[in-house]
Amino acid sequence: MTDLEKEKTKILISLGIGFAVLYVILDKKIFIYLSVLSVFLSITKTKISFQAVNYLKKIFNFIQNLLFGILIFSLYFALLFPVSFFWRLLNKEKFCYFLRNDKETFLLEVKEKINFKNQW
Amino acid sequence: MKIMGISALYHDSAAVLIEDGNIIAANQEERFTRVKHDSSFPYKAINACLEQSKTGIKDIDVFVFYEKPYSKFERITETIYAFAPKGFISLKEFVKGWSLKKFSFEYNLKDLDINPKAEILYSSHHLSHAASAFFPSPFEESAVLTVDGVGEYSTTLISKGIKNDIVPLKEIRFPHSIGLFYSAFTYFLGFKVNSGEYKLMGLAPYGNKSRRKNDFKEKIKKEIMDIKKDGSIFLNQAYFEYCTGNKMINEKKFFNLFGFKKRLENEEINQDHCDLALAVQELTEEVMINLARTARDIANSQNLCLAGGVALNCVSNSKILESEIFKNIWVQPAAGDAGGALGAALGAYHIHYGKERKLTGYDKMKGSFIGVEFSNDEIKKSLNKFEAVYDFIEYKDLVNLTATLLAQGNIIGWFQGKMEWGPRALGNRSILADPRIDDIQQKINMKIKRREGFRPFAPSVMEEFVEEYFYPAVYSPYMLFVSYFNGRYRNILPDGYENMGVKGKLEFKKSLFPAVTHVDFSSRIQSVNQETNPLFYGLIKEFYKITGCPMILNTSFNLRGEPIVATPEDAYRCFVKTDMDYLVMGNFFIERKKQKYKEEIDLDKLND
Ligand SMILES: [Fe+2]
């Protein structure tokens, strides 16, 4: 097998697995077809299989991005956004420092002691 | 006690090895991976430091990371809270880039076979900068000012260094950042953030001291950056997107304010761009001078140590020097984040372990020549690999020959001794030429660096001649200050110079040393000292004997967009790819005309 073929097989098999996972998560039959198609193409040596790699990769990336976006979107609005209200209430000074130009100086006293032990 | 300091995973990663407080080796990862500003974990730089000092990884007692990862994470979360519901995109980008490898120092160390008893420590970003500035400086006590984009929370820190301790006093916190302000305009003017800031600084002298420039300044002060008397600033976040999105600025708001769009990378530079660059540079200087004054007042010292990315702005450094707020100023040559590795190591040694700091009256940077080094045997091996044609010449004759060839107008690659630490080539990985030649600047830009340069090159001047040629006479061994050519070396400017545009001003011969004179007669000088680099000093001296000119043009040994060469192999490949006339590596003299390879060497083919 040439390097190119190896690479193709690797990509197609991972795509096959990826689509299978998507099928399990989303329960849409299209993904199982795409998964089978990927695995099938990975064992053939046609020219199409090389071109198909690119298209499949694009489709997969698109769906992955979309799902990722939805996930972050929900995380953001379900968790971080509501928490931000509490944060603002409890850290009024910090919040104003970010956005309000209402002080003579933006130099702050350094309160933390130097330490080399922890990561905070 | 052997301590390794490491900076990584943000900007420029680097590794530094110190032993009992002495700097043994310091290397930046980009030089080995050949990826400019490489921020990946510096495995190659660590290896280079170990090899260079003949130390095993197991011999290292302490590993120190240059910042606190959790604090940084906390700052990012708090920024999201402060800007909700606007920060969705920045959160998405953040999560996308997240991986354990990218965030955990210890996780990365696992790939190295370190001593299980070795201690692992964490400095903090600005403390690392401050330590990199104060501990190697020649001062017993000093005010320390560190200014950059952002670390954990701080964007600016004023501290006081005394003996083996640093006491942080005041800080400016994110999102108000002079570094990010400068980067935002770097982006708006069509240069790359984190590397193009130098270009903005270089463009500023093309700006006219006109009403237009003052207009820009007023607008920025009123709308974008409020400068307080003590040097602290407030950045109006309506104009920026670094908190909420994946861009530096709100382009629409910038357009509305300045009346022109963000310059595209290949778009021609016009007078508006230059005037805005000058406005931004002047405002930055104003902030830095105010900060310096505050630092002097609260730290109560006549000495100043500077570090952080903004301390690479040699024009603003010089303005602080000229303001005479401080008697003495010392700047860490690797002022950017790479330098954090050095500060982390020195900080741990002196502050955490409380070890004494010995003063010698000089700085401890060894001329910044603390990187990898190659013997003649190693150089020869590389040359043979490329079937290079070379002569072995004793140093005395080699220096004479090189100086003679420089005086004849040749461009010469000069590769000697230990690699420089920090972004500037200081005479060990340099391309050299005669600064008096009219078109040498264009020739180097076109044929060697392959770029259209509007910035002049730097001159390396024998230290004792600085005063005769420049005003003010600055001691600048690391190219971190600018100075102006004295009147007798300048040419008289033609009428209408202000309106000659970038090209006109660039091409006008401004002094007897046109290739190293900026449009405002300034020059980013390197004062070369006989003791710190005898070979390089000897070369300039030989050139002076032949020509009566005590300076040579010195630019870094690299192509556009590539890091400075580290190894003989890098140097030879760069040499054949360009139109350099000669290459001098160690004792080997290599003439371009005689080489088998005339262009890029395909390494794969070579290995077949
Ligand atoms: Fe920094």
Instruction: Give the domains, in start order, of chain B with CATH numbers.
Output: 376-604 (3.90.870.20)
> Does any domain span residue A109?
no
Q: Which residue has 């040499």 as its token pair? A: B575
> Does any domain span residue A68?
yes
pLDDT of A46 over the 70 cut: no
Q: Do A98 and B175 touch (CB under 8 A)?
A: yes
Of all residues in chain B, the one with the smallest CA distance to A84 is: B81
Q: Do B68 and A106 touch (CB under 8 A)?
A: no
Interval B14-53: pLDDT, tens: 999 999 999 999 999 999 999 999 999 999 999 999 999 9
Of all residues in chain B, the one with the smallest CA distance to A67 is: B92
Amino acid at B452: E
The verdict on A95 touching B (C-beta cutoff 8 Å) is yes
For the residues B83-105, what does the mean pLDDT come to? 78
> Does any domain span residue A113?
no
Q: pTM, whole model, 2 decimals?
A: 0.90
CA of B447 to the centre of ligand 1 (A): 34
CA of A91 to the centre of ligand 1 (A): 26
Q: Is B552 in contact with B435 (CB distance < 8 Å)?
A: yes
Q: Do B232 and A106 touch (CB under 8 A)?
A: yes
The DSSP call for residue B167 is E
Average model confidence (pLDDT) across chain A: 83
> Does any domain span residue A62?
yes
For the residues A93-117, what does the mean pLDDT come to? 91
The shortest CB-CB distance from B168 to any of A105, A110, A119 is to A110
Q: What are the chain B neighbours of A114 within 8 Å (beta carbons)? A: 124, 127, 166, 168, 351
Dist CA B78 CA B175 (whole Å): 11
Confidence of residue B94 (pLDDT cuts 50, 70, 90): confident
The verdict on A92 touching B (C-beta cutoff 8 Å) is no
pLDDT of A57 over the 80 cut: no
Chains A & B: contacts with CB separation below 8 Å: 113
- Long-range CB contact pairs, B43-51, < 8 A, 24+: B43/B111, B43/B112, B45/B13, B45/B14, B45/B15, B46/B4, B46/B6, B46/B15, B46/B112, B48/B15, B48/B371, B48/B372, B49/B4, B49/B15, B49/B16, B49/B17, B49/B24, B49/B25, B50/B17, B50/B25, B51/B372
More confident residue, B448 or B415: B415
> Does any domain span residue A112?
no
Q: Do A107 and B170 touch (CB under 8 A)?
A: yes
**Is the ipTM reported for this complex over the cut 0.95?**
no
Task: Find the range with the poorest average confidence among A38-42, B36-40, B382-386, B467-471.
Answer: A38-42
pLDDT of A6 over the 80 cut: no
Average model confidence (pLDDT) across chain B: 93
Amino acid at A105: T
The shortest CB-CB distance from A101 to any of B79, B226, B351 is to B226
Give the total number of structural domains in chain A. 1
pLDDT of B607 over the 60 cut: no
CA of B147 to the centre of ligand 1 (A): 8
Query: Which pLDDT does position A45 carry in this prediction?
Result: 67
Interval B341-350: pLDDT, tens: 999 999 999 9
Q: Do A84 and B352 touch (CB under 8 A)?
A: no
Q: Do B84 and A105 touch (CB under 8 A)?
A: no
The verdict on A119 touching B (C-beta cutoff 8 Å) is yes
Query: Which pLDDT does position A15 carry in this prediction?
Result: 81
Residues 6+ positions from B289 with CB-CB distance below 8 Å: B231, B319, B320, B323, B325
The verdict on A98 touching B (C-beta cutoff 8 Å) is yes
Angle A92-99/B69-83 helices, nearest 10 degrees? Answer: 80
Q: Do A119 and B71 touch (CB under 8 A)?
A: yes
The DSSP call for residue B329 is E
Q: Which residue has 């054949």 as its token pair? A: B576
> Does the CA dihedral B334-B4-B429-B607 come out positive or negative?
negative
The verdict on A74 touching B (C-beta cutoff 8 Å) is no
Residue A116 to chain B, least CA–CA distance (Å): 5
Q: Which residue has 């770029």 as its token pair? A: B451
Q: Do A107 and B158 touch (CB under 8 A)?
A: yes
Q: Is B112 in contact with B46 (CB distance < 8 Å)?
A: yes
For the residues B426-432, what does the mean pLDDT come to? 96
Query: Which pLDDT does position B603 carry in this prediction?
Result: 63
The shortest CB-CB distance from B71 to any of A72, A108, A120 is to A120
Residue A114 to chain B, least CA–CA distance (Å): 8
> Does any domain span residue A63?
yes
Task: Find the range with the poorest average confidence among B163-167, B179-183, B417-421, B556-560.
Answer: B556-560
The DSSP call for residue A1 is -
Q: What are the chain A neighbours of B69 within 8 Å (beta carbons)? A: 119
Q: Do A68 and B83 touch (CB under 8 A)?
A: no
Residue A85 to chain B, least CA–CA distance (Å): 8
Interval B576-601: pLDDT, tens: 988 899 999 999 999 998 887 777 76
> Does any domain span residue A110?
no
Q: Do A106 and B176 touch (CB under 8 A)?
A: yes
Q: Do A88 and B82 touch (CB under 8 A)?
A: yes
Q: What are the chain A neighbours of B122 within 8 Å (beta carbons)? A: 116-119
Dist CA B378 CA B588 (whole Å): 11
For the residues B460-467, what does the mean pLDDT come to? 96
Confidence of residue B353 (pLDDT cuts 50, 70, 90): very high
For the residues B528-543, what does the mean pLDDT come to? 96
Three-state secondary structure call for residue B227 = strand
Three-state secondary structure call for residue B148 = coil
Give the pair of three-digit tokens for residue B588.
Answer: 């080997």
> Does any domain span residue A70?
yes
Cβ burial, residue A89 (10 Å; 0-12/13-18/19+): exposed
Query: Which pLDDT does position B608 carry in this prediction?
Result: 45
Q: Do B71 and A106 touch (CB under 8 A)?
A: no
Q: Do A107 and B352 touch (CB under 8 A)?
A: no
Confidence of residue B602 (pLDDT cuts 50, 70, 90): low
Q: What is the DSSP string of B334-361?
A: S-STTHHHHHHHHHIIIIIS-------S
Nearest-Å Rg of the Cα atoms of chain A is 25
Q: Domain limits at A12?
A: 3-99
Backbone angles phi, psi at B546, to 5 degrees: -75, -40
Residue A115 to chain B, least CA–CA distance (Å): 7
Give the pair of three-digit tokens for residue B20.
Answer: 């009992």
